[in-house]
Amino acid sequence: MKKTAKELAAAVGATVEGNGDLELAAVASPERAGLRDLIYADSAKNVPRAQSSAAICVVALPGVDLRGKTVLRSITPKLTFAKAAGLLMGRPPIAAGVHPTAIIAALVQISLNASIGPYAVIGEDVHIGEETQIGPHAVIGAGCWIGKNCRIHPRVTLYSGVRIGDRVEIHSGAVIGADGFGYAFGDGQHWKFPQTGIVEIGDDVEIGANATIDRGSLADTRIAAGVKLDNLVHVGHNCEIGEHSVIAAQAGLSGSCTFGKNVVVGGQAGFAEHCKLEDGAIVGGQTGVLPGKTIRGGEPVWGTPARSLEKFKEQFAWQSRLPELAARIKNLESSVRK
């Protein structure tokens, strides 16, 4: 999918300075780039790296001087670079055609140009959308609905009844729709609470390797459009995650958490049952949010239990000064006792 600098600029909304007819084939870092690779420089620090790169074409901020280079001007070079990368670089195929070893149950609908890899097992009544690729060893439970242009990597499991939108990417080892962790205790043992809901995943979601998203118990688990979940993230039953929220690796949501839109969660953060994150909430890595708590948008929180980052910093500073405070108390006691 080669493009000229001019074509690329038009597609991503940048302006060209220099040779607009220059043909670009890929993207790279300044150090690894060849002549036909696009690079970017988003800070003063990175300008010398760009200048000395073998690459000829650079995405850079207006006003940044890059002698001898063709420059795509953008006030958001990293974003522009990411968009250009999406246009220039094909994604490696996950499957090509429907492999004869794929086991496909009755009443499965395989849309035009959908691909299914070797040894995949597709349950009854599954729908697979156009151009969707399903990798080797994927197990798709009965009644799942998968939209268009999805990339289901090898060894993904969807339990029955999972619904997935368009352009969703699910990485290897992820398990979607397993039973939630719910029991009622009585007579000295735990009785399984029914886990009969489903998982619904919106368009443009990406789910990391070995992540787990449990099905709803009596309600459903819902991941809205544009959400990005990193590797080994856990989402409990009945959680709802709003549009374009981003959750870093190893974070975990207990049951029935409700996250708004554009939430940002750091790695290894944990959420007890029935937490609520409002739109735009920002939760630091390893933060722990107590059951039923609400986190407001815009004000970052940190620590366990979660408090505002500002408050955390203040408390932390005083903790470091505890030995000093104790010494001052001792001094006061000596003075007063005299």
Q: Is the dihedral of CA 84, 88, 94, 97 positive or negative?
A: positive
State the Cα–Cα distance between residues 45 and 190, nearest whole angstrom. 58
Contact letters for a second copy, residues 29-68 (x by CB under 8 A): x--x------------------------------------
Any idea which residue has 């998203």 for tokens? 213
Of residues 227 through 266, those in contact with a second copy by CB under 8 A are: 228, 230-232, 234, 236, 244, 246, 248-250, 252, 254, 266
The reply to whether 299 sits near a second copy by the rule CB under 8 A is: no
Applying CB under 8 A, among 63, 68, 90, 92 the residue interacting with a second copy is 92
Nearer to a second copy, 21 or 48 (CB): 48
Of residues 117 through 146, those in contact with a second copy by CB under 8 A are: 117-119, 121, 135-137, 139, 141-142
Question: Taking contact as CB under 8 A, which single stretch among the options 2-10, 16-24, 64-72, 298-306 is the one that binds a second copy?
Answer: 298-306
The reply to whether 297 sits near a second copy by the rule CB under 8 A is: no
Shortest distance, CB of residue 23 to a second copy, whole angstroms?
A: 18
Question: Taking contact as CB under 8 A, which single stretch among the options 2-10, 44-52, 56-64, 165-173 is the one that binds a second copy?
Answer: 165-173
The reply to whether 109 sits near a second copy by the rule CB under 8 A is: no
The reply to whether 328 sits near a second copy by the rule CB under 8 A is: yes
The reply to whether 190 sits near a second copy by the rule CB under 8 A is: yes
* Spatial CA neighbour of 282 closest among 316, 315, 247, 255: 247
State the Cα–Cα distance between residues 85 and 179, nearest whole angstrom. 38
Applying CB under 8 A, among 10, 25, 98, 178 the residue interacting with a second copy is 178
Nearer to a second copy, 21 or 105 (CB): 105
Nearer to a second copy, 127 or 155 (CB): 155
- Please give the full DSSP string across 141-182, using - where no structure is assigned: -TT-EE-TT-EE-TT-EE-TT-EE-SS-EE-TT-EEEEPP--
Of residues 67 through 86, those in contact with a second copy by CB under 8 A are: 76, 78-79, 81-83, 85-86
Nearer to a second copy, 79 or 98 (CB): 79
Q: Which residues are catalytic?
A: 237
Beta-ladder partners of 109: 127
Largest CA distance in the chain: 94
Peptide bond into 77 cis (omega under 30): no
Question: Taking contact as CB under 8 A, which single stretch among the options 16-24, 47-55, 107-115, 178-186 is the one that binds a second copy?
Answer: 178-186
Applying CB under 8 A, among 129, 165, 202, 270 the residue interacting with a second copy is 270
* Spatial CA neighbour of 216 closest among 236, 237, 230, 232: 237
Nearer to a second copy, 6 or 181 (CB): 181
Any idea which residue has 């979660």 for tokens? 306
Residue 184 CA: distances (Å) to CA of 188, 209, 234, 291, 308: 10, 31, 22, 18, 35
